C-alpha cells in the first residue's frame, strides 16, 4: 500500500460549521488486489472527521488487510476502503456503484446514468442570492441549496422568499443552517418557511440536539441532519426520530461501504438519504457519485463541488450538466481515467 500526501487550494475561502477553510490537505492511497491497483483518498475535515495528523498516523500504521478504524479515523478508513473497492471493481470489470449496491440494497434495478444534484447558493444579500439562484436554475438545476443562519432570521426569510419568487415552484429549495439557531428561533422559522414551500431545512439546531430536531418534524417542512451524523451514528439519529432526511458524507462515515449501509438503514426507517462531499479531491468526489448511484431512486445530492477547488488531483471524469452528475463508465471508479495517479505511485 502506498500513501502520497497532497494539498489543494480552494478557489476562494469557504465558511463551514467548523470554521473557514482555504485549502484541502489529504492523502492518496494505493492498494493492490489480484494484480489490480485501486486508488483511494483521505481528505480530513475536522468537525466531520479526524485531523490531518491523525489521518496520517492511522494510514502509516494501516494495511489493506488491517485498515484504520472508521469510528476513530473515518477519513483514513475511507481512503483504504475506497482503494480496495476500486481494485476489486476494476478486477471484475464493473462500475464501483454496482459493487457498492450489493452492500446495502437487494435490487435488480439498473444503475442510473446520471444523478440529480443540487446547486449550492451562498449567504449573500437578497440581490446576490437571487442572481446566483436564477443562474443555477437557467443551467438546469432543479434543486437549490441556500445557506442560511449567518444573517438575521428576518433577512434569511426575505432571501428565501425572493428566490422562490424568482425561480418558481418548478425548482425545489433546500436550506442549510449549519446548526445556527436555538429551538425557539428554529420553531418560528420552520412555520414561516413551510408557508413559502421549502423542501427541507438542514441542521437547524446544534449537532448534539437530536431531541430538538425530532420536535421540529411534522410542521410542514422536512428536517435534515448533517453535522449530527458526525456527532452521533446513523442508528442513534434514527432511534431519536431526529430526521426526515439524512445527509451522508462518505468521508465522514468511514468509507463508501459504510455510506451505502447508512443509506440503506435510513431508507428502511423511512428517512431519505442524500449523499454529499466534504469538499474533496476528484477521487473522493467520484466515489461519492458511485455511492449515490448505488442507492435506488436517490434524490438530488450535493455532488457538484469540484468548482470550489482552484486545482485538483486529476481531470474530473464526472460531467455536471443539466442539473445532473453523470456516473463514470468503466470498471472501478472510472475505468482508466485515474491510471496516471496509480502509475505515478505504484513503483
For residue 110, give the nearest of 128, 95, 122, 123 by alpha carbon.
95
Catalytic one among 139, 145, 147, 154? 145
pLDDT digits (tens, 9 = 90+) for 70-96: 999 999 999 999 999 999 999 999 999
- Would the pTM count as exceeding 0.85? yes
Identify whether the C-beta of residue 112 lies closer than 8 Å to the C-beta of residue 142. no
pLDDT digits (tens, 9 = 90+) for 5-25: 999 999 988 876 667 889 999
Contacts of residue 155, defined as CB under 8 A and 6 or more positions apart, other chains included, come to 126
The verdict on whether 139 is a catalytic residue reads: no
236/249 Cα distance (integer angstroms): 16
The verdict on whether 154 is a catalytic residue reads: no
* Grid cell listed for 34: 489480484
322/212 Cα distance (integer angstroms): 37
Identify whether the C-beta of residue 6 lies closer than 8 Å to the C-beta of residue 281. yes
Number of domains in the chain: 2
80 in a domain, yes or no?
A: yes
253/237 Cα distance (integer angstroms): 13
* Grid cell listed for 247: 445527509
Q: Could you tell me what percent of the chain has a pLDDT over 70?
A: 98
Identify whether the C-beta of residue 117 lies closer than 8 Å to the C-beta of residue 140. no
pLDDT digits (tens, 9 = 90+) for 206-255: 999 999 999 999 999 999 999 999 889 999 999 999 999 999 999 999 99
Q: Which of 94, 126, 158 is the last residue of a domain?
A: 94
- Domain co-membership, 63 together with 122: no
pLDDT digits (tens, 9 = 90+) for 277-298: 999 999 999 999 999 999 999 9
Report CA-CA distances (Å) from 293 to 101, 139, 273, 284, 321. Answer: 8, 22, 12, 14, 16
CATH number at residue 241: 3.20.20.120
Catalytic one among 139, 147, 154, 249? 249
Q: Tell me the CA end-to-end span of the chain in Å, nearest whole number.
A: 11
Mean pLDDT score, 132-160: 96
- Domain co-membership, 169 together with 278: yes
Helices (H), 40-197: 52-60, 74-92, 96-101, 126-138, 153-167, 183-196
Q: Which of 94, 122, 146 is the last residue of a domain?
A: 94
Amino acid at each position: 500500500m502506498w500513501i502520497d500526501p497532497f494539498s489543494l487550494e480552494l478557489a476562494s475561502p469557504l465558511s463551514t460549521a467548523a470554521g473557514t477553510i482555504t485549502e484541502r490537505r489529504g492523502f492518496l492511497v494505493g492498494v493492490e488486489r489480484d494484480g489490480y491497483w485501486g486508488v483511494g483518498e483521505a481528505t480530513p475535515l475536522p468537525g466531520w472527521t479526524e485531523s490531518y495528523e491523525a489521518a496520517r498516523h492511522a494510514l502509516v500504521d494501516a494495511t489493506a488487510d488491517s485498515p484504520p478504524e472508521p469510528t476513530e479515523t473515518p477519513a483514513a478508513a475511507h481512503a483504504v476502503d475506497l482503494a480496495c473497492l476500486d481494485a476489486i471493481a476494476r478486477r471484475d470489470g464493473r462500475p464501483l456503484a454496482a459493487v457498492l449496491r450489493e452492500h446495502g440494497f437487494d435490487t435488480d434495478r439498473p444503475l442510473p446514468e446520471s444523478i440529480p444534484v443540487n446547486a449550492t447558493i451562498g449567504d449573500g444579500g437578497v440581490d446576490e442570492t437571487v442572481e446566483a439562484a436564477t443562474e443555477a436554475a437557467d443551467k438546469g438545476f432543479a434543486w437549490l441549496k441556500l445557506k442560511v443562519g449567518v444573517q438575521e432570521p428576518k433577512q434569511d426569510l426575505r432571501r428565501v422568499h425572493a428566490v422562490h419568487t424568482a425561480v418558481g415552484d418548478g425548482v425545489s429549495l433546500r436550506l442549510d443552517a449549519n446548526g445556527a439557531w436555538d429551538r425557539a428561533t428554529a420553531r418560528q422559522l420552520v412555520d414561516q418557511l413551510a408557508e413559502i414551500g421549502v423542501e427541507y431545512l438542514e441542521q437547524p439546531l446544534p449537532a448534539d440536539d437530536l431531541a430538538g430536531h425530532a420536535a421540529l418534524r411534522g410542521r410542514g417542512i422536512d428536517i435534515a441532519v448533517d453535522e449530527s451524523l458526525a456527532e452521533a451514528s446513523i442508528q442513534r439519529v434514527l432511534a431519536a426520530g431526529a430526521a426526515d432526511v439524512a445527509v451522508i458524507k462518505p468521508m465522514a462515515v468511514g468509507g463508501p461501504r459504510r455510506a451505502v449501509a447508512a443509506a440503506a438503514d435510513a431508507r428502511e426507517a423511512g428517512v431519505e438519504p442524500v449523499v454529499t462531499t466534504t469538499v474533496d479531491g476528484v477521487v473522493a468526489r467520484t466515489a461519492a457519485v458511485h455511492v449515490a448511484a448505488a442507492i435506488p431512486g436517490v434524490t438530488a445530492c450535493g455532488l457538484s463541488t469540484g468548482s470550489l477547488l482552484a486545482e485538483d488531483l486529476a481531470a474530473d471524469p464526472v460531467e455536471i450538466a443539466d442539473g445532473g452528475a453523470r456516473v463514470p463508465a468503466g470498471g472501478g471508479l472510472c475505468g482508466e481515467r485515474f491510471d496516471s495517479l496509480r502509475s505515478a505511485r505504484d513503483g
